[in-house]
A = this chain, B = another copy of it.
Amino acid sequence: MPVLIKPEPFDPIAMQAAHEATLPTGSFGATASFIGTMRNVNEGDDVIGMMLEHYEGMTEKELEAVIHDAKQKWPIDDALIVHRVGAIEPGQPIVLTVVWSAHRAAAFDACRFLMEALKSRAPFWKKETLKDGSHRWVERNTPGY
């Protein structure tokens, strides 16, 4: 159940496929995945770039704890979290969460749980660069439910 922090752009779909290839064929029936991608607009303003900061060590630990908690709550076969850090451009993926399970209810619930728990617990911070060259810290996340 890997957790990966990526300082360079990553292809979430390729990573999902590569991890899935390590699982036994026919063992899981449901795969729920979520990809967060950087938009070129936030709160009505044009955004041209973003710096994503994290707390090395604690971030990985929290992401692993999030997966651990999901495993306690749902019968899941495997899970994957990938999160980008560093300088990000609009259109680039920021985060990937994937859950493989026998049935869809657990896959959907656990995948969404990973995202919400990650957003409330894992220390990441976004600083946006606007079109006029100014910078601002993102102060809160949008609601997840």
Residues of B within 8 A of A144 (CB): 104-105, 108
Q: How far is the CA of A144 from the CA of B29 in the complex (A)?
A: 13
- Docked-complex contact A29 and B34, CB < 8 angstroms: no
The answer to whether the Cβ of A36 comes within 8 Å of any Cβ in the partner chain is yes
Docked CA distance A23–B16 (Å): 20
At the interface, is chain A mostly helix, strand, loop or mixed? mixed
Interface residues of A in 97-142 (CB under 8 A from B): 102-105, 107-108, 111-112, 115, 142
User: What is the oligomeric copy number?
Assistant: 2
Bound Cα distance from A129 to B36, whole angstroms = 39
Whether the pair A105, B145 counts as a contact (CB closer than 8 A) is: yes
User: Is residue A3 within 8 Å, beta carbon to beta carbon, of the partner chain?
Assistant: no
Q: Is A75 an interface residue (CB 8 A)?
A: no
A residues near B (Cβ < 8 Å) are 13, 16-17, 25-41, 90-91, 102-105, 107-108, 111-112, 115, 142-145
